[in-house]
Chain A
Amino acid sequence: MLGKTAGGLFWMFRYLERSENTVRLLDAGFRIALTRSSSSRNEWESIVTTAGVRNQFREQHDDFNSVNVIDFLLRDKQNASSVVSVVNAARNNARLVRTALTREVWEATNDCWLTLQKSLARPVREKELPDVLASIRQHSALVRGALHGTMLRNEIYDFARLGTFMERADNTARILDVKYYLLLPSVSLVGSQIDNAQWETILRSVSANHAYRWLNGGDINPTGIAEFLILDRRMPRSLAFCYAKIMDNLGYLAADYGEELECQGQAARVRSRLDGCTVGSILESGLHEFLGDFIRDNNLLGELIERDYRFCD
C-alpha cells in the first residue's frame, strides 16, 4: 500500500472524527445556553477553547455570543477546524484514497459533504441548529457504518481506525483539560457555585451523559467523571479505550508487516502508563499535568506513525 494512501486514510478518519467532536461540543453548549442563560457566554467561550481555536476566534470576533461561535465552528472556511473545513478535508482525503475505499464508504463520505454544502450554505439560525447538528452526526455515523460493514479487515482498515482513535483520545483529553478545574477536589469541596449542570456538560460533550448515569446510578461526582473518561475501558471515548484500540490496530499492522516499529513501542508506553494509574493518583499528582503529558505523548505517537509508515517523503 502506498504511504500516501495510508496517510490519506489516517487523516480522512481523523477529520471525520473531529467534525463529530465539534458537533458534540456545540450540542452540549447549546443545551447549557438554553437552560442557563446567565452563564451562556462563558459556556460558548469554553467551547471555543476546547475546540482549540480560541486565538483565531479572538482575531475575528470580539464577543463570544452564540451567533459568532456557532458560525465560526460550523461554517467559517478560514477556521481550519470548522465543520465545513474538516469535512472538506476529509472528503479531499477520501478522493485521494478513492481506490482504497469501497463504493459505500466513498458515497457515504461524499453524501455527508454534499449535505453540508447545502445545509451550511447560509448561516444557521439557533432554531435550526439541532436539526443541522443531528444531520451531521447521522452522516458521520453512516460513514462509520459503511466502513464497518463493507471494508476488508486489512491494513486499510487499520490506518482508518488509527486516525479515528488518535483523534478521539486527543479530543477527550482536551475536553477534560479545559474543564479540569471543575473536577479538582479542592474546588469540589467548595461545592456551591459548581453544580451538576456543569459536570453534565463534560459528559454531554463526549456523549456519555446517559451511560454515566446508568453505570453510576445517578451519582455524579468529579472523581467518578475523571475515572470514567480516562480509565474506564467500557467507555468508547475514554483514553484507556482509545489506547486499547490503537494497540490492537498497531498490533495487526506489526503482524501483517512482520516488524515492530517505534510507534508500537510508544503506544505501549502510553498504554502502560494508563494501566498503572488510579484516578486517585492522577488527581493527586495533578490532572492538568497528567492530561498535558498525555496530549504530548499522543501527538508524538502520531508523528511516529506518520514516519514509520512513510506517509510523506
Chain B
Amino acid sequence: MERSAGFFDEMFGVGETPRGPYGNYRQWIDNEDPAQLRRKAAEAEIFFRRTGITFNVYNQQEAAERLIPFDVVPRILSGREWARLARGIEQRVRAINAFLHDLYHRQEILRAGRIPIELIAQNEAFLPKMIGVKPPGDVYTHIVGVDLVRTGENDFFVLEDNARTPSGVSYMLENRETMLKMFPELFARIQVQNVSDYPNRLRRSLVKCAPDVCTGRPVIAVLTPGIHNSAYFEHSFLADQMGAELVEGHDLRVVDGRIAMRTTRGYKPIDVIYRRVDDDYLDPLNFRPESMLGVPGIMDVYRAGGVTIANAPGTGIADDKAVYSYMDEIVEFYTGETAILKNVPTWRCAEPDSLAYVLEHLSELVVKEVHGSGGYGLLVGPAASKRELAEFTRKLKARPGNYIAQPTLALSTVPILTKKGLAPRHVDLRPFVLVSPNSIEITPGGLTRVALKSGSLVVNSSQGGGTKDTWVLEE
C-alpha cells in the first residue's frame, strides 16, 4: 500500500505490520482477488441506487440525487478503544444535557462566571422562548452525533457536538447491511458488535420521553421538511424502521392543545415528534413567520407539555462552535470530572489577541464559521490559495465574532480500495448517542466519513466525501 508520511494510519500505525484490530481483516483481504473486490464495490453502488439511498444536492439541478460513495474496506476499532470512547462520549452528552437545562433555567454556570455571559446572551443559537420550559423527561438532546477525529494511537479529539438534528445514521445502518450482503464470510470470521437495533432503540428511547398527557401507547412521528430535503431518504428510512408516521408541517395542526396529524379519518394526536426541521422553521407563529415547514403554534403546545419535540428547541446553543471552546469547563462544571475526550484547541476570533494570532498564522489553521455546518464556509489554511487566504483575512477582520480557528489536525487515515489497490485516506467518526430519562445509549461504531481525494482533509459528503462501515470488535 502507498503510505502518506506524517499521518497515523489505523491499519498500519506508523510501521509495516498491521495494528491489532486489523490483524484478522488484513489476513483476509491479502487473500482476496482485488478485481473481485472492485466488482463487489460496483455491486454495492447498484444496491444503494436501487434502494434509493441518495442525498439531494442543493443548487444542482441535473445531479439532483447523488450517492454518497461507499468504500468496502471497513474502519475497525477494538472493543477496548471503543469502551474508552464510549465513556468519554457519555460523559460529554450528560454534561451537554445538564448545561442546556441550566442555561434555560437558573444559569448557574453564568453566575459562577465559568463562561462569559455574552457568549450566551448574544448568541443566535440561544432560544429565549425555551427559558423555564421543562421538556418531558428533562431530556434536551434525544439524539446526538459526536464528531471525533484521531491523530495517534491514543489521541482522539471531539471536533463537534451535533446536538440539533445530527444526520447520517441511515448510512451507518445501510453500510452494515451492504457489508453483510457482500462479505458474509468476513462476519463469520470476525466478531463485530451489532448496530442494526438502532431504530428499535431510538423508538424505545423516544417512547420513554413521551409527555405526561400521553396515556396509551405513544404515537411517534418523524417531521421532515419534505422530499426535496437533502436527508429525506434518512427521514423516511427511520420512520419506516421505527414504524412511525412520516409527516410534514402541512399534515399537522394544533387541535385541543395537542399536535394532531391529518389522517384519512380526521385529526389524531401525536405524542412525540422526532423533528428533522431546524428550530427557525419549526413554528411560524413563534419563529420565522414565512416558514412553510413547521406547525403554527407547536411551541405553545410544547411549552404546555402537550407534545415532546426531539431534539428540544434551543439545543443548538450546546453545539455552537464558540461554546465548543468551553467544553472542558462545561464538562467539569456539571460532572465534577475532568473531560475524558479532548477538545481541539480553539481560537475564538472574537477575542482580539486570538484574532491577531489567527491572522498571522492563517495558512496553518482551519477557520470555521461559528454557525456553519456541512463543510460550507470553511477555510483549510494549508490547502488554500493566496486569493482564498486574502478573502478570509477580509472576512475575519469584518466579522471576527463569526469565526473560530483551529490547528490543522493530522487526521488519521484508513485505507480505501482504489484502482491501484489500497491507499490511505483521512477519516473522521460520528457515533450516535440516544438519551432518555436515566439512560444514555451509544451504538457501537457510527458513521465513518472518508475524504476520497488523496491528501484531502474534508470528509463532508457535500464536498465529495464518502463513507465506510465502522466495526467495533467483540472482545
Q: Are A110 and B50 in contact (CB under 8 A)?
A: yes
B interface list, Cβ under 8 A from A? 49-52, 227, 232, 236, 239-240, 245-248, 250-251, 253, 261-266
Judge whether A3 is part of the interface by a CB distance below 8 angstroms. yes
Docked complex Cα distance between A4 and B266 (Å): 12
Contacts A98-B52, A99-B239 supplied; 17 other A-B pairs, CB < 8 Å: A1-B263, A2-B247, A2-B261, A3-B263, A95-B52, A95-B227, A96-B227, A99-B240, A99-B246, A103-B51, A107-B51, A110-B51, A110-B52, A155-B264, A310-B263, A310-B264, A310-B266
Docked complex Cα distance between A243 and B273 (Å): 40
Judge whether A92 is part of the interface by a CB distance below 8 angstroms. yes
The chain B residue with its CB closest to the CB of A96 is: B227
A interface list, Cβ under 8 A from B? 1-4, 6, 92, 95-96, 98-99, 103, 106-107, 110-111, 114, 155, 257, 309-310, 313
Q: Are B236 and A3 in contact (CB under 8 A)?
A: no
Distance (whole angstroms) from the CB of A94 to the closest CB of chain B: 9
Residues of A within 8 A of B52 (CB): 95, 98, 106, 110
Q: Are A111 and B50 in contact (CB under 8 A)?
A: yes
Q: Are B264 and A95 in contact (CB under 8 A)?
A: no
Docked complex Cα distance between A6 and B266 (Å): 13
Docked complex Cα distance between A6 and B245 (Å): 13
Contact A3-B232, Cβ < 8 Å, known A92-B227, A110-B52, A111-B50: no
Docked complex Cα distance between A82 and B234 (Å): 30
Which are the 10 A-B pairs with shortest beta-carbon distances? A98-B236, A309-B264, A99-B240, A3-B262, A6-B264, A95-B227, A99-B239, A99-B246, A1-B264, A4-B251
Docked complex Cα distance between A198 and B49 (Å): 44
Q: Are A3 and B227 in contact (CB under 8 A)?
A: no
Docked complex Cα distance between A76 and B239 (Å): 35
Residues of B within 8 A of A6 (CB): 264
Residues of A within 8 A of B232 (CB): 95
The chain A residue with its CB closest to the CB of B236 is: A98
Q: Are A313 and B246 in contact (CB under 8 A)?
A: no
Contact A2-B227, Cβ < 8 Å, known A99-B239, A106-B52, A111-B50: no
The chain B residue with its CB closest to the CB of A311 is: B264
The chain B residue with its CB closest to the CB of A93 is: B227
The chain B residue with its CB closest to the CB of A155 is: B264
Distance (whole angstroms) from the CB of A248 to the closest CB of chain B: 18
Selected A-B contacts with CB under 8 Å, 7 pairs: A2-B247, A3-B251, A99-B236, A107-B50, A114-B50, A257-B265, A313-B250
Docked complex Cα distance between A6 and B264 (Å): 7
Docked complex Cα distance between A3 and B265 (Å): 8
Docked complex Cα distance between A309 and B264 (Å): 4
Docked complex Cα distance between A110 and B54 (Å): 12
The chain A residue with its CB closest to the CB of B237 is: A98
Between A2, A96, A103, the greatest number of chain B beta carbons within 10 A of the residue's beta carbon is seen for A2
Q: Are A95 and B250 in contact (CB under 8 A)?
A: no
Docked complex Cα distance between A257 and B50 (Å): 35
Residues of A within 8 A of B49 (CB): 114
Distance (whole angstroms) from the CB of B410 to the closest CB of chain A: 41
The chain A residue with its CB closest to the CB of B50 is: A107
Distance (whole angstroms) from the CB of A211 to the closest CB of chain B: 35
Q: Are B236 and A4 in contact (CB under 8 A)?
A: no
Q: Are A3 and B50 in contact (CB under 8 A)?
A: no
Docked complex Cα distance between A155 and B264 (Å): 10
Docked complex Cα distance between A117 and B263 (Å): 34
